[in-house]
Amino acid sequence: MPELPEVETMRRGLTPVVGCRIDDVIRPPCRLRPISLRPGIAAFARRATGRHVTAIGRRGKRVLIDLDDKQTIVIEPRMTGLVLLADPPGTEHLRLCFELSADGKKDKPRRLMFWDRRGLGTVRLLTSSRFAAEIDSRLGVDALTITRDQLREKLCRSRRAIKVALLDQSAVAGIGNLYAAEILFLAGVDPRTRCDKLTGPQWDRIARHIAVVLLDAIAHEGSTLSDGTYRNALNDPGGYQNCHRVYDRADLPCLRCESGVIRRVVQAQRGTFFCPVCQRKSGRHAAVSQNSVSPDA
pLDDT digits (tens, 9 = 90+) for 215-231: 999 999 999 998 878 99
pLDDT band at 108 (very low <50, low <70, confident <90, very high): confident
User: What is the spatial distance between Cα 37 and Cα 3, in angstroms, rounded to a whole number?
Assistant: 21
Q: What SS3 class is residue 242? A: helix
What are the pLDDT digits (tens) for 73-83?
999 999 999 99
pLDDT at 169: 97
Residue 3 annotated among the catalytic residues of the structure: yes
Catalytic pick from 11, 51, 59, 61? 61
What are the pLDDT digits (tens) for 109-149?
899 999 999 999 999 999 999 999 999 999 999 999 999 99
Quickly list DSSP for 25-73. Answer: EE----SSPPPEEES-HHHHHHHHTTPBEEEEEEETTEEEEEETTS-EE
Taking a C-beta distance cutoff of 8 angstroms, is the pair 139, 171 a contact?
no
Residue 61 annotated among the catalytic residues of the structure: yes
pLDDT band at 284 (very low <50, low <70, confident <90, very high): low
* pLDDT over 70 (residue 91): yes
Distances (CA, A) of 101 to 38, 85, 118, 174: 24, 13, 30, 32
Residue 270 annotated among the catalytic residues of the structure: yes
User: What is the spatial distance between Cα 18 and Cα 11, in angstroms, rounded to a whole number?
Assistant: 11
Q: Which of 262, 266, 265 is CA-nearest to residue 249?
A: 262
Q: Is the peptide bond before 2 cis (omega within 30 degrees of 0)?
A: yes
* pLDDT over 60 (residue 249): yes
* pLDDT over 70 (residue 58): yes
From the CA atom positions of the chain, what is the Rg in Å?
A: 20
Taking a C-beta distance cutoff of 8 angstroms, is the pair 34, 103 a contact?
no
Q: What SS3 class is residue 192? A: coil
Q: What is the mean pLDDT of residues 225-248?
A: 93
The count of residues in the chain is 297
Catalytic pick from 118, 130, 148, 270? 270
Q: Which domains does the chain have, with CATH numbers?
A: 4-138 (3.20.190.10), 141-292 (1.10.8.50)
pLDDT at 103: 82
Q: What is the mean pLDDT of residues 165-191?
A: 98
* pLDDT over 60 (residue 292): no
Residue 221 annotated among the catalytic residues of the structure: no
Q: Is the peptide bond before 39 cis (omega within 30 degrees of 0)?
A: yes
User: What is the spatial distance between Cα 185 and Cα 278, in angstroms, rounded to a whole number?
Assistant: 7
Eight-state DSSP code of residue 40 = -
Catalytic pick from 2, 5, 77, 109? 2
Listed in sequence order, the residues at least 6 apart from 140 whose beta carbon sits closer than 8 Å to its beta carbon are 146, 154, 168, 169, 170, 171, 172, 173
User: What is the spatial distance between Cα 179 and Cα 195, in angstroms, rounded to a whole number?
Assistant: 18
